[in-house]
Structure 1
Amino acid sequence: MHQKILIADDEAGIRRLLRGYLEKAGFRVTEARNGKESLERCRAEKPDLLILDLMMPEMDGLDVFRAVRQESQVPIIMLSARAEETDRLVGLELGADDYVVKPFSPREVVARVRAVLRRSTQADRPVRALLQAGPIRLDMAKRTVTVDGEAKALTTAQFDILAALMLEPGRVFTRLQLLERIQGSAFEGYERTIDVHIKNIRRVLGDSSVKPRLIGTVRGVGYRLLEG
Protein backbone atom coordinates (compact mmCIF):
# COMPACT_ATOMS: atom_id res chain seq x y z
CA MET A 1 0.00 0.00 0.00
CA HIS A 2 1.29 3.47 -0.88
CA GLN A 3 2.26 5.68 2.02
CA LYS A 4 -0.07 8.57 2.84
CA ILE A 5 1.13 12.17 3.12
CA LEU A 6 -0.95 14.93 4.70
CA ILE A 7 -0.16 18.41 3.35
CA ALA A 8 -1.29 21.15 5.75
CA ASP A 9 -0.95 24.59 4.16
CA ASP A 10 -3.39 27.47 3.69
CA GLU A 11 -2.01 28.25 0.21
CA ALA A 12 -3.89 26.25 -2.42
CA GLY A 13 -1.03 26.67 -4.90
CA ILE A 14 1.47 25.10 -2.50
CA ARG A 15 -0.84 22.17 -1.80
CA ARG A 16 -1.49 21.64 -5.51
CA LEU A 17 2.22 21.79 -6.37
CA LEU A 18 3.26 19.33 -3.67
CA ARG A 19 0.35 17.00 -4.36
CA GLY A 20 1.34 16.74 -8.02
CA TYR A 21 4.95 15.85 -7.29
CA LEU A 22 4.16 13.51 -4.40
CA GLU A 23 1.49 11.61 -6.32
CA LYS A 24 3.86 11.30 -9.27
CA ALA A 25 6.37 9.80 -6.81
CA GLY A 26 3.81 7.17 -5.80
CA PHE A 27 2.42 8.62 -2.57
CA ARG A 28 -1.21 8.99 -1.57
CA VAL A 29 -1.95 12.59 -0.65
CA THR A 30 -4.57 14.29 1.47
CA GLU A 31 -4.85 18.00 2.24
CA ALA A 32 -5.80 20.42 5.01
CA ARG A 33 -6.39 24.16 4.52
CA ASN A 34 -5.90 25.41 8.07
CA GLY A 35 -4.50 24.39 11.42
CA LYS A 36 -7.74 23.08 12.89
CA GLU A 37 -8.50 20.95 9.85
CA SER A 38 -4.94 19.59 9.76
CA LEU A 39 -5.22 18.37 13.35
CA GLU A 40 -8.61 16.78 12.67
CA ARG A 41 -7.35 15.02 9.53
CA CYS A 42 -4.20 13.86 11.27
CA ARG A 43 -6.28 12.24 13.99
CA ALA A 44 -8.82 10.71 11.61
CA GLU A 45 -6.60 9.60 8.72
CA LYS A 46 -3.35 8.76 10.55
CA PRO A 47 -0.96 9.73 7.73
CA ASP A 48 2.52 8.25 7.43
CA LEU A 49 3.99 11.76 7.30
CA LEU A 50 2.74 15.30 7.88
CA ILE A 51 3.98 18.31 5.90
CA LEU A 52 3.03 21.20 8.16
CA ASP A 53 3.09 24.92 7.36
CA LEU A 54 3.86 27.07 10.39
CA MET A 55 1.71 30.08 9.46
CA MET A 56 -1.92 28.99 9.10
CA PRO A 57 -5.30 30.43 10.09
CA GLU A 58 -7.58 29.11 12.85
CA MET A 59 -4.70 27.31 14.56
CA ASP A 60 -1.01 28.13 14.37
CA GLY A 61 1.27 25.46 12.92
CA LEU A 62 3.33 25.29 16.12
CA ASP A 63 0.17 24.66 18.15
CA VAL A 64 -0.82 21.92 15.71
CA PHE A 65 2.65 20.44 16.04
CA ARG A 66 2.49 20.36 19.83
CA ALA A 67 -1.00 18.80 19.78
CA VAL A 68 0.06 16.11 17.30
CA ARG A 69 3.20 15.31 19.29
CA GLN A 70 1.14 14.70 22.42
CA GLU A 71 -0.73 11.95 20.58
CA SER A 72 1.61 10.59 17.94
CA GLN A 73 5.21 10.28 16.75
CA VAL A 74 4.21 10.65 13.09
CA PRO A 75 7.14 12.15 11.15
CA ILE A 76 6.68 15.89 10.56
CA ILE A 77 8.34 18.15 8.00
CA MET A 78 7.80 21.83 8.73
CA LEU A 79 7.27 24.40 5.97
CA SER A 80 7.95 28.07 6.57
CA ALA A 81 8.66 31.30 4.75
CA ARG A 82 11.01 32.17 7.60
CA ALA A 83 14.56 31.48 6.45
CA GLU A 84 16.35 32.57 9.63
CA GLU A 85 18.41 29.85 11.29
CA THR A 86 16.79 30.55 14.67
CA ASP A 87 13.33 29.73 13.27
CA ARG A 88 14.61 26.49 11.78
CA LEU A 89 16.28 25.54 15.04
CA VAL A 90 13.12 26.28 17.03
CA GLY A 91 11.20 23.86 14.82
CA LEU A 92 13.80 21.16 15.26
CA GLU A 93 14.02 21.92 18.97
CA LEU A 94 10.35 21.01 19.25
CA GLY A 95 11.07 17.67 17.61
CA ALA A 96 10.38 18.18 13.90
CA ASP A 97 12.07 15.68 11.61
CA ASP A 98 12.98 18.27 8.98
CA TYR A 99 12.43 21.93 8.10
CA VAL A 100 11.97 23.30 4.58
CA VAL A 101 12.06 27.01 3.75
CA LYS A 102 9.76 28.60 1.14
CA PRO A 103 10.24 29.04 -1.75
CA PHE A 104 11.42 25.48 -2.23
CA SER A 105 12.12 22.95 -4.93
CA PRO A 106 9.26 20.41 -4.96
CA ARG A 107 11.75 17.74 -6.01
CA GLU A 108 13.80 18.47 -2.89
CA VAL A 109 10.68 18.18 -0.73
CA VAL A 110 9.94 14.77 -2.26
CA ALA A 111 13.54 13.74 -1.52
CA ARG A 112 13.17 14.95 2.07
CA VAL A 113 9.89 13.04 2.44
CA ARG A 114 11.53 9.85 1.22
CA ALA A 115 14.50 10.32 3.55
CA VAL A 116 12.31 10.93 6.61
CA LEU A 117 10.06 7.97 5.80
CA ARG A 118 13.10 5.78 5.25
CA ARG A 119 14.32 6.68 8.72
CA SER A 120 10.93 5.96 10.27
CA THR A 121 10.66 2.48 8.80
CA GLN A 122 12.67 -0.59 9.63
CA ALA A 123 13.74 -1.53 6.12
CA ASP A 124 17.33 -0.37 6.52
CA ARG A 125 17.89 -1.21 10.16
CA PRO A 126 21.27 -2.73 11.11
CA VAL A 127 21.68 -6.46 11.71
CA ARG A 128 22.19 -5.90 15.43
CA ALA A 129 18.66 -5.66 16.78
CA LEU A 130 19.52 -4.68 20.36
CA LEU A 131 22.08 -2.08 21.39
CA GLN A 132 23.18 -1.44 24.96
CA ALA A 133 25.32 1.37 26.33
CA GLY A 134 25.32 1.80 30.09
CA PRO A 135 21.72 2.44 31.15
CA ILE A 136 20.54 2.93 27.54
CA ARG A 137 18.90 0.04 25.71
CA LEU A 138 17.92 0.59 22.09
CA ASP A 139 15.72 -1.90 20.21
CA MET A 140 16.24 -1.44 16.46
CA ALA A 141 13.36 -3.74 15.50
CA LYS A 142 10.77 -2.05 17.70
CA ARG A 143 12.46 1.37 17.46
CA THR A 144 12.20 1.87 21.19
CA VAL A 145 14.61 3.34 23.73
CA THR A 146 14.73 2.75 27.46
CA VAL A 147 16.94 4.26 30.16
CA ASP A 148 17.23 2.10 33.28
CA GLY A 149 14.15 0.26 32.04
CA GLU A 150 12.06 3.41 31.59
CA ALA A 151 10.69 4.00 28.08
CA LYS A 152 11.74 7.26 26.40
CA ALA A 153 10.19 8.94 23.33
CA LEU A 154 12.51 10.03 20.51
CA THR A 155 11.68 11.37 17.07
CA THR A 156 12.85 9.34 14.07
CA ALA A 157 15.82 11.67 13.51
CA GLN A 158 16.85 11.53 17.17
CA PHE A 159 16.52 7.74 17.21
CA ASP A 160 18.76 7.32 14.16
CA ILE A 161 21.41 9.70 15.50
CA LEU A 162 21.51 7.77 18.77
CA ALA A 163 21.62 4.46 16.88
CA ALA A 164 24.58 5.65 14.79
CA LEU A 165 26.48 6.65 17.93
CA MET A 166 25.64 3.41 19.75
CA LEU A 167 26.64 1.20 16.83
CA GLU A 168 30.18 2.57 17.03
CA PRO A 169 30.92 3.60 20.63
CA GLY A 170 33.88 5.91 20.94
CA ARG A 171 33.93 6.89 17.28
CA VAL A 172 33.79 10.63 16.67
CA PHE A 173 31.10 11.58 14.14
CA THR A 174 31.20 14.98 12.47
CA ARG A 175 27.94 16.89 12.24
CA LEU A 176 27.84 16.34 8.49
CA GLN A 177 28.28 12.58 8.94
CA LEU A 178 25.37 12.46 11.38
CA LEU A 179 23.30 14.66 9.08
CA GLU A 180 23.96 12.26 6.23
CA ARG A 181 22.80 9.35 8.40
CA ILE A 182 19.39 10.95 8.93
CA GLN A 183 18.85 12.72 5.59
CA GLY A 184 20.60 10.46 3.11
CA SER A 185 22.74 13.35 1.89
CA ALA A 186 24.51 16.15 3.72
CA PHE A 187 23.19 19.70 3.45
CA GLU A 188 25.92 21.94 4.85
CA GLY A 189 23.48 24.75 5.54
CA TYR A 190 21.66 22.55 8.04
CA GLU A 191 24.78 21.23 9.79
CA ARG A 192 24.01 23.02 13.07
CA THR A 193 20.62 21.32 13.33
CA ILE A 194 22.53 18.28 14.61
CA ASP A 195 23.38 20.32 17.72
CA VAL A 196 19.66 20.76 18.37
CA HIS A 197 18.97 17.06 17.92
CA ILE A 198 21.83 16.17 20.29
CA LYS A 199 20.53 18.67 22.85
CA ASN A 200 17.09 17.06 22.69
CA ILE A 201 18.51 13.53 22.91
CA ARG A 202 20.50 14.50 25.99
CA ARG A 203 17.42 16.03 27.58
CA VAL A 204 15.33 12.91 26.96
CA LEU A 205 18.07 10.59 28.23
CA GLY A 206 18.80 12.73 31.27
CA ASP A 207 22.33 13.53 30.10
CA SER A 208 24.22 16.81 30.45
CA SER A 209 26.35 18.82 28.04
CA VAL A 210 28.42 20.18 30.94
CA LYS A 211 29.28 16.82 32.51
CA PRO A 212 28.11 14.25 29.96
CA ARG A 213 27.85 10.60 30.92
CA LEU A 214 26.53 9.31 27.61
CA ILE A 215 27.18 11.61 24.64
CA GLY A 216 30.41 13.56 24.52
CA THR A 217 31.17 16.68 22.50
CA VAL A 218 34.42 16.88 20.56
CA ARG A 219 34.90 20.61 20.08
CA GLY A 220 35.18 21.72 16.50
CA VAL A 221 34.44 18.21 15.23
CA GLY A 222 31.23 16.57 16.43
CA TYR A 223 29.98 13.96 18.89
CA ARG A 224 30.70 10.46 20.17
CA LEU A 225 29.16 7.92 22.51
CA LEU A 226 31.24 7.78 25.68
CA GLU A 227 32.61 4.39 26.64
CA GLY A 228 32.81 2.99 30.13
Structure 2
Amino acid sequence: MKRILIIEDEKSLVRFIQLELEHENFFVKVAYDGKSGLHVALTEEWDLILLDLMLPYIDGMEVCRRLREYKSTPVIMLTARDAINDRIQGLDSGADDYIAKPFDIDELFARIRAIFRRVELEERPVRSVLSIRDIAVDPDSRVVTRSGMTIELTKREFDLLIVFLKNPNMVQTRDMLLDQVWGYDSLVETKVVDVYVRYLRHKLDVPGEESIIQTVRGIGYVVRT
Protein backbone atom coordinates (compact mmCIF):
# COMPACT_ATOMS: atom_id res chain seq x y z
CA MET A 1 0.00 0.00 0.00
CA LYS A 2 1.39 3.39 -1.02
CA ARG A 3 1.92 5.83 1.85
CA ILE A 4 1.06 9.51 1.35
CA LEU A 5 1.72 12.32 3.82
CA ILE A 6 -0.40 15.48 3.58
CA ILE A 7 1.11 18.63 5.11
CA GLU A 8 -1.68 21.20 4.86
CA ASP A 9 -3.37 23.55 7.35
CA GLU A 10 -6.70 23.92 5.54
CA LYS A 11 -8.61 21.22 7.41
CA SER A 12 -11.66 21.02 5.14
CA LEU A 13 -9.40 20.50 2.10
CA VAL A 14 -7.29 17.98 3.99
CA ARG A 15 -10.35 15.94 4.93
CA PHE A 16 -11.59 15.90 1.34
CA ILE A 17 -8.21 14.80 -0.10
CA GLN A 18 -7.72 12.23 2.65
CA LEU A 19 -11.09 10.59 2.03
CA GLU A 20 -10.47 10.46 -1.72
CA LEU A 21 -7.00 8.97 -1.27
CA GLU A 22 -8.16 6.39 1.25
CA HIS A 23 -10.97 5.44 -1.11
CA GLU A 24 -8.22 4.60 -3.62
CA ASN A 25 -6.50 2.42 -1.00
CA PHE A 26 -3.66 4.76 -0.06
CA PHE A 27 -2.44 4.98 3.53
CA VAL A 28 -2.73 8.65 4.52
CA LYS A 29 -1.31 10.65 7.40
CA VAL A 30 -1.84 14.35 8.03
CA ALA A 31 0.22 17.16 9.58
CA TYR A 32 -1.28 20.63 9.92
CA ASP A 33 1.87 22.74 10.17
CA GLY A 34 5.35 22.84 8.68
CA LYS A 35 7.24 21.94 11.82
CA SER A 36 5.34 18.75 12.65
CA GLY A 37 5.07 17.90 8.94
CA LEU A 38 8.83 18.07 8.46
CA HIS A 39 9.34 15.87 11.50
CA VAL A 40 6.96 13.20 10.19
CA ALA A 41 8.44 13.44 6.69
CA LEU A 42 11.95 12.84 8.00
CA THR A 43 11.23 10.18 10.61
CA GLU A 44 8.88 7.98 8.57
CA GLU A 45 9.00 6.54 5.06
CA TRP A 46 6.61 7.97 2.47
CA ASP A 47 5.93 7.28 -1.17
CA LEU A 48 4.65 10.82 -1.75
CA ILE A 49 4.15 14.08 0.15
CA LEU A 50 1.43 16.61 -0.65
CA LEU A 51 2.84 19.86 0.70
CA ASP A 52 1.07 23.19 1.11
CA LEU A 53 3.14 26.28 0.41
CA MET A 54 1.70 28.55 3.14
CA LEU A 55 2.05 26.76 6.48
CA PRO A 56 2.32 27.79 10.14
CA TYR A 57 5.80 27.79 11.77
CA ILE A 58 7.75 26.67 8.66
CA ASP A 59 6.54 27.40 5.14
CA GLY A 60 6.34 24.73 2.47
CA MET A 61 9.41 25.84 0.55
CA GLU A 62 11.59 25.63 3.63
CA VAL A 63 10.08 22.24 4.53
CA CYS A 64 10.93 21.02 1.05
CA ARG A 65 14.47 22.39 1.17
CA ARG A 66 15.18 20.75 4.53
CA LEU A 67 13.59 17.48 3.39
CA ARG A 68 15.87 17.40 0.32
CA GLU A 69 18.93 17.50 2.54
CA TYR A 70 18.10 13.97 3.69
CA LYS A 71 15.48 12.38 1.42
CA SER A 72 14.32 12.23 -2.19
CA THR A 73 10.66 11.51 -1.38
CA PRO A 74 8.48 12.84 -4.25
CA VAL A 75 6.70 16.11 -3.36
CA ILE A 76 3.68 17.73 -4.98
CA MET A 77 3.32 21.31 -3.79
CA LEU A 78 -0.22 22.61 -3.21
CA THR A 79 -0.75 26.35 -3.20
CA ALA A 80 -3.16 29.16 -3.90
CA ARG A 81 -0.26 31.21 -5.30
CA ASP A 82 -0.14 30.51 -9.01
CA ALA A 83 2.33 33.13 -10.26
CA ILE A 84 5.14 31.83 -12.48
CA ASN A 85 7.73 33.00 -9.96
CA ASP A 86 6.00 31.03 -7.19
CA ARG A 87 6.02 27.90 -9.34
CA ILE A 88 9.70 28.35 -10.11
CA GLN A 89 10.57 28.84 -6.45
CA GLY A 90 8.55 25.79 -5.48
CA LEU A 91 10.24 23.58 -8.04
CA ASP A 92 13.68 25.01 -7.23
CA SER A 93 13.15 24.23 -3.55
CA GLY A 94 12.94 20.55 -4.51
CA ALA A 95 9.28 19.89 -5.35
CA ASP A 96 8.58 17.38 -8.12
CA ASP A 97 5.31 18.96 -9.20
CA TYR A 98 3.14 21.97 -8.46
CA ILE A 99 -0.64 22.26 -8.50
CA ALA A 100 -2.59 25.45 -7.84
CA LYS A 101 -5.69 25.67 -5.68
CA PRO A 102 -8.50 25.19 -6.35
CA PHE A 103 -7.79 22.01 -8.30
CA ASP A 104 -9.85 19.13 -9.60
CA ILE A 105 -9.27 15.93 -7.63
CA ASP A 106 -8.94 13.99 -10.90
CA GLU A 107 -6.03 16.22 -11.92
CA LEU A 108 -4.35 15.62 -8.58
CA PHE A 109 -4.72 11.86 -9.01
CA ALA A 110 -3.31 12.10 -12.54
CA ARG A 111 -0.24 13.93 -11.22
CA ILE A 112 0.16 11.36 -8.44
CA ARG A 113 0.01 8.52 -10.97
CA ALA A 114 2.56 10.27 -13.18
CA ILE A 115 5.01 10.56 -10.29
CA PHE A 116 4.58 6.91 -9.30
CA ARG A 117 5.18 5.85 -12.92
CA ARG A 118 8.36 7.90 -13.02
CA VAL A 119 9.60 6.45 -9.72
CA GLU A 120 8.86 2.93 -10.94
CA LEU A 121 10.88 3.51 -14.10
CA GLU A 122 13.78 4.96 -12.12
CA GLU A 123 13.80 1.98 -9.76
CA ARG A 124 13.53 -0.60 -12.52
CA PRO A 125 16.90 -2.36 -12.91
CA VAL A 126 18.75 -1.43 -16.06
CA ARG A 127 19.12 -4.40 -18.35
CA SER A 128 22.76 -5.00 -19.17
CA VAL A 129 23.37 -5.56 -22.87
CA LEU A 130 26.70 -7.00 -23.98
CA SER A 131 28.01 -5.81 -27.30
CA ILE A 132 30.99 -5.89 -29.62
CA ARG A 133 31.13 -4.22 -32.99
CA ASP A 134 27.56 -4.46 -34.34
CA ILE A 135 26.64 -7.54 -32.29
CA ALA A 136 24.41 -7.03 -29.24
CA VAL A 137 23.36 -9.65 -26.71
CA ASP A 138 20.69 -9.28 -24.03
CA PRO A 139 21.52 -11.94 -21.40
CA ASP A 140 18.08 -11.63 -19.76
CA SER A 141 15.95 -12.21 -22.85
CA ARG A 142 18.68 -14.27 -24.56
CA VAL A 143 18.27 -12.26 -27.74
CA VAL A 144 21.22 -11.84 -30.11
CA THR A 145 21.28 -9.30 -32.93
CA ARG A 146 23.79 -8.21 -35.54
CA SER A 147 23.14 -4.89 -37.25
CA GLY A 148 19.63 -5.07 -35.81
CA MET A 149 18.87 -8.49 -37.29
CA THR A 150 18.00 -11.26 -34.83
CA ILE A 151 20.24 -14.31 -34.86
CA GLU A 152 18.89 -17.60 -33.54
CA LEU A 153 21.34 -19.48 -31.33
CA THR A 154 21.07 -22.74 -29.43
CA LYS A 155 21.52 -22.63 -25.66
CA ARG A 156 25.11 -23.87 -25.92
CA GLU A 157 25.98 -21.43 -28.70
CA PHE A 158 24.50 -18.58 -26.69
CA ASP A 159 26.41 -19.54 -23.53
CA LEU A 160 29.64 -19.77 -25.49
CA LEU A 161 29.10 -16.32 -27.02
CA ILE A 162 28.41 -14.84 -23.57
CA VAL A 163 31.78 -16.11 -22.33
CA PHE A 164 33.54 -14.40 -25.22
CA LEU A 165 31.68 -11.11 -24.79
CA LYS A 166 32.29 -11.02 -21.03
CA ASN A 167 36.00 -11.51 -21.66
CA PRO A 168 36.90 -9.33 -24.64
CA ASN A 169 40.54 -9.38 -25.77
CA MET A 170 41.23 -12.25 -23.36
CA VAL A 171 42.33 -15.50 -24.94
CA GLN A 172 40.16 -18.43 -23.85
CA THR A 173 41.73 -21.86 -23.98
CA ARG A 174 39.60 -24.78 -25.05
CA ASP A 175 39.71 -26.14 -21.50
CA MET A 176 38.55 -22.78 -20.12
CA LEU A 177 35.64 -22.66 -22.54
CA LEU A 178 34.76 -26.25 -21.81
CA ASP A 179 34.65 -25.56 -18.07
CA GLN A 180 32.57 -22.40 -18.39
CA VAL A 181 30.04 -23.65 -20.92
CA TRP A 182 29.80 -27.40 -20.37
CA GLY A 183 31.00 -27.63 -16.75
CA TYR A 184 34.28 -28.66 -15.23
CA ASP A 185 33.09 -32.25 -14.67
CA SER A 186 31.79 -32.67 -18.20
CA LEU A 187 32.89 -35.71 -20.17
CA VAL A 188 32.79 -33.70 -23.40
CA GLU A 189 36.10 -33.55 -25.27
CA THR A 190 37.77 -30.24 -26.04
CA LYS A 191 37.33 -30.75 -29.78
CA VAL A 192 33.61 -30.09 -29.22
CA VAL A 193 34.57 -26.51 -28.46
CA ASP A 194 35.97 -26.22 -31.99
CA VAL A 195 32.70 -27.52 -33.41
CA TYR A 196 30.62 -24.93 -31.54
CA VAL A 197 32.99 -22.10 -32.41
CA ARG A 198 32.47 -23.11 -36.05
CA TYR A 199 28.69 -23.02 -35.52
CA LEU A 200 28.92 -19.52 -34.02
CA ARG A 201 31.11 -18.24 -36.83
CA HIS A 202 28.68 -19.57 -39.41
CA LYS A 203 25.80 -17.67 -37.76
CA LEU A 204 27.60 -14.47 -36.75
CA ASP A 205 30.19 -13.76 -39.40
CA VAL A 206 29.69 -11.72 -42.55
CA PRO A 207 31.21 -13.21 -45.72
CA GLY A 208 34.36 -11.39 -46.74
CA GLU A 209 34.91 -9.85 -43.29
CA GLU A 210 37.24 -10.96 -40.50
CA SER A 211 35.63 -13.46 -38.13
CA ILE A 212 34.33 -12.13 -34.84
CA ILE A 213 35.97 -15.08 -33.08
CA GLN A 214 39.66 -15.33 -33.89
CA THR A 215 41.81 -18.41 -33.49
CA VAL A 216 44.95 -18.19 -31.37
CA ARG A 217 46.94 -21.05 -32.81
CA GLY A 218 47.84 -23.74 -30.30
CA ILE A 219 45.94 -22.04 -27.47
CA GLY A 220 42.28 -21.29 -28.13
CA TYR A 221 40.08 -18.38 -29.21
CA VAL A 222 39.57 -14.69 -28.59
CA VAL A 223 37.08 -11.95 -29.44
CA ARG A 224 38.89 -8.66 -30.00
CA THR A 225 37.24 -5.26 -29.71
Contact 2:62 2:93 in 1 (8 A): no
- In structure 2, the residue matched to 1:61 is 60
In the TM superposition, what is the alpha-carbon distance from 1:80 to its structure 2 partner? 0.7
1:38 aligned partner: 37
1:29-56 CA deviation, whole Å, 9 max, x = no partner? 0000000010111122221111000100
The structure having more radius of gyration, on CA atoms, is: 2
User: CA–CA distance in 1 between the matches of 2:22 and 2:57?
Assistant: 28
| Conserved 8 A contact 2:50-2:75 | yes
Partner of 1:24: 23
- Could you say which residue in structure 1 is the equivalent of 2:9? 10
C-alpha offsets along residues 164-219 of structure 1, whole Å, 9 cap, x if unaligned?
xxxxxxxxxxxxxxxxxxxxxxxxxxxxxxxxxxxxxxxxxxxxxxxxxxxxxxxx
For the structure 1 residues 67 and 33, does the alpha-carbon distance in structure 2 shift closer, same or farther, using more than 3 Å as the test?
same
For residues 88 and 74 of structure 2, the distance between their equivalents in structure 1, rounded to whole angstroms, comes to 17
Distance in 2 (CA, whole Å) between partners of 1:94 and 1:35 is: 15
Q: Does 1:82 align with 2:78?
A: no
2:69 is paired with a residue whose SS is helix
Q: What is the aligned partner in structure 2 of residue 223 from structure 1?
A: none
Q: Which amino acid aligns with 1:67?
A: R
Amino acid at match of 2:45: K
Counterpart Cα distance in 2 of 1:110 and 1:36: 26
The answer to whether the 8 Å contact 1:23/1:29 transfers is yes
Higher RCO (Cα < 8 Å, 6 or more apart):
1
Structure 2: which 5+ residue stretches go unaligned? 130-225
For residues 119-141 of structure 1, the C-alpha deviation after alignment (integer angstroms, 9 at most, x for no partner) is: 112489586458xxxxxxxxxxx
**How many equivalent residue pairs?**
129
Give the aligned CA root-mean-square deviation in angstroms: 2.0
Percent identical residues: 43
TM-score where L is the length of structure 1: 0.53
Matched residue of 1:121: which SS?
helix
Q: Distance in 2 between matches of 1:59 and 1:124?
A: 31
Residue of structure 2 equivalent to 1:49: 48
Q: Alpha carbons of 1:129 and 1:26: their partners in 2 closer, same or farther (altered >3 Å)? A: farther
Runs of 4+ in 1 over 3 A off after TM superposition: 122-130
Aligned to 2:120: 121
Q: 1:123 to 1:56 in 2, by over 3 A?
A: closer
Measure the CA separation in 2 of the matches of 1:127 and 1:109.
Answer: 30
> Measured at CA, do residues 96 and 123 of structure 1 come closer, stay the same or move farther in structure 2, by a change above 3 Å?
closer
Q: Is the 8 A contact 2:6 2:31 kept in 1?
A: yes
- Which residue of structure 2 lines up, in the alignment, with residue 71 of structure 1? 70
Name structure 1 gaps, 5 residues minimum. 131-228
Please, what TM-score do these two structures have when normalized by structure 2? Answer: 0.54
Q: Is the 8 A contact 1:21 1:110 kept in 2?
A: no
- Residue in structure 2 matched with residue 164 of structure 1 by the alignment: none
Q: Structure 1 residues 21 and 128, CA, compared in 2 at 3 Å: closer, same or farther?
A: same
Amino acid at match of 2:58: M
Tell me by how many angstroms 1:95 deviates: 2.6
Amino acid at match of 2:99: V
In 2, the alpha carbon distance for the partners of 1:10 and 1:27 equals 20
